[in-house]
């Protein structure tokens, strides 16, 4: 794509100055660290020394109110950060999304003491958090989780169970764990606990994954870890509802990150089509190649309009849960289509490890699953439109 690398992208023209500044600052830092991507993807390890710089650029801090040590950015501004992260490196988007979720939960439900011990150091880059709700047999149906929180005579709780596919757990020093105080209560028994690295009784098992390879993905095995009463986050039985309070932000973040993946696919495919020669002329001059790239551009533009519309609704005070579900569904599917077409433009080269299109293809595939699969988004949208649940 023939653009001035120093110029703002055309789609920033519709943003106000504050929003454009947020995106510009993020892109500047992400471009600075982008040379680290090949080695980190190869080694499947995120260089955690980049995280303080992400915080300085507005990630994580942006979503938190000023009263709790954050920047108090709008939903649109934090979403723009995530689009830039997706465009650069989806492993960063995944890592930052979970850190943001943990920070939002602490801001919403943490006691003054918990905010001092966990939230403030997290926002300063001194602590790293993870969030554990998914289990081997409890994914979309989170209310059926079986990790047990048994209350002890001392008032502490003993946690026993296994959490699956937990981002950041390999290097995070604390996590928010959802467990049930009584399996018979269903969702009304699910409670949130802050589990610290120094507590005995839990271990982390690495789970290498197809996509976002540099992001930490682990199982967390809780084998009788004792959590003091003061580490309960919120009230007994309110863990699932607490997690659902952050669902809009999480889905919006994924939507914006997916748009970033689509944008990266557009840029990579366009650059390759212009530079590659076949049959004595530019690849870009072939009509079917132009169709592939035009399709990517249309999908990217549409995804951007969808997620920004949902963000503006949230900023206007609307519930926007349905719109965030629509956004997550549409943008994640659009990213997959865009990345697939970028691979097609590259041909065989796009299938090779180390090729940008190959990485985007893998990372886009991940996006249709976390924060609610595409299928769960469809069911939630359907329930909102028709008033009938297809789940319960």
pLDDT of residue 201: 83
Q: In whole angstroms, give the CA distance from residue 124 to residue 387.
A: 44
Are the CB atoms for 236 and 252 separated by under 8 Å?
Answer: no
- Which of 41, 84, 267, 371 is catalytic? The answer is 371
Residue 348 to residues 18, 278, 352, 363: CA-CA distances in angstroms? 42, 14, 7, 18
Question: Would you write out the chain's pLDDT as a tens digit for each of its 392 residues?
Answer: 344 556 899 999 999 999 999 999 999 999 999 999 999 999 999 999 999 999 999 999 999 999 999 999 999 999 999 999 999 999 999 999 999 999 999 999 999 999 999 999 999 999 999 999 999 998 888 889 999 999 999 999 999 999 999 999 999 999 999 999 999 998 999 999 999 988 888 899 999 999 999 999 999 999 999 999 999 999 999 999 999 888 899 999 999 999 999 999 999 999 999 999 999 999 999 999 999 999 999 999 999 999 999 999 999 999 999 999 999 999 999 999 999 999 999 999 999 999 999 999 999 999 999 999 999 999 999 999 999 999 87
In the residue annotation, 371 being an active-site residue is answered as yes
SS3 of the chain: CCCCCCCCCHHHHHCCHHHHHHHHHHHHHHHHHHHHHHHHHHHCCCCHHHHHHHHHCCCCHHHCCHHHCCCCCCHHHHHHHHHHHHHHCHHHHHHHHHHHHHHHHHHHHCCHHHHHHHHHHHHCCCCCEEEECCECCECCCHHHCCCEEEECCCCCEEEEEEEEEEECCCCCCEEEEEEECCHHHHHHHEEEEEEECCCCCEEEEECCCCCCCCCCEEEEEEEEEEECHHHEECCCCCHHHHHHHCHHHHHHHHHHHHHHHHHHHHHHHHHHHHHCEECCEEHHHCHHHHHHHHHHHHHHHHHHHHHHHHHHHHHCCCCCHHHHHHHHHHHHHHHHHHHHHHHHHHHHHHHCCCCHHHHHHHHHHHCCCCCCCHHHHHHHHHHHHHCCCCCC
pLDDT of residue 176: 97
Buried b (16+ CB within 10 A) or exposed e, 93-112: bbbbbbbbbbbbbbbebbee
Domains of the chain: 10-123 (1.10.540.10), 129-238 (2.40.110.10), 244-386 (1.20.140.10)
Measured distance between the N- and C-terminal CA atoms of the chain, rounded to whole angstroms: 49
């Amino acid at each position: 794509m023939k653009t001035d690398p120093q110029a703002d992208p055309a789609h920033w023209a519709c943003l106000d100055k504050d929003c454009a500044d947020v995106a510009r600052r993020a892109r500047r830092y992400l471009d600075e660290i982008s040379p680290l991507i090949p080695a980190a993807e190869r080694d499947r390890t995120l260089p955690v020394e980049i995280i303080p710089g992400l915080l300085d650029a507005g990630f994580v801090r942006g979503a938190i109110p000023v009263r709790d040590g954050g920047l108090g950015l709008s939903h649109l501004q934090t979403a723009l950060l995530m689009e830039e992260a997706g465009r650069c490196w989806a492993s960063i988007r995944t890592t930052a999304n979970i850190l943001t979720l943990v920070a939002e939960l602490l801001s919403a439900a943490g006691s003054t003491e918990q905010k001092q011990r966990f939230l403030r150091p997290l926002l300063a880059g001194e602590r790293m958090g993870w969030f554990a709700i998914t289990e081997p047999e409890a994914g979309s149906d989170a209310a059926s989780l079986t990790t047990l929180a048994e209350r002890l005579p001392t008032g502490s709780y003993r946690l026993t169970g296994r959490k699956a596919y937990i981002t950041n757990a390999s290097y995070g020093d604390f996590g928010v764990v959802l467990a049930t105080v009584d399996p018979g209560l269903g969702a009304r028994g699910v409670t949130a606990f802050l589990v610290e690295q120094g507590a005995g009784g839990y271990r982390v098992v690495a789970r290498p994954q197809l996509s976002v390879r540099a992001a930490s993905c682990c199982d967390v095995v809780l084998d009788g870890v004792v959590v003091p009463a003061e580490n309960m986050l919120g009230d007994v039985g309110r863990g699932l509802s607490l997690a659902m309070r952050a669902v809009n932000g999480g889905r919006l973040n994924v939507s914006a990150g997916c748009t970033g993946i689509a944008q990266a696919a557009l840029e990579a495919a366009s650059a390759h089509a212009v530079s590659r020669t076949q049959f004595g002329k530019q690849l870009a001059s072939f009509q079917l190649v132009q169709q592939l790239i035009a399709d990517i551009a249309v999908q990217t533009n549409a995804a951007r309009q969808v997620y920004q519309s949902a963000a503006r609704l949230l900023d206007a005070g609307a519930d926007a849960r349905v719109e965030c579900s629509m956004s997550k569904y549409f943008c994640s599917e659009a990213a997959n289509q865009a990345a697939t077409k970028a691979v097609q433009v590259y041909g065989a080269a796009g299938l090779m490890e180390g090729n940008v299109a190959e990485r985007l293809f893998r990372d886009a595939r991940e996006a249709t699953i976390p924060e609610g699969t595409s299928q769960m988004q469809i069911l939630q949208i359907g329930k909102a439109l028709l008033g009938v649940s297809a789940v319960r």
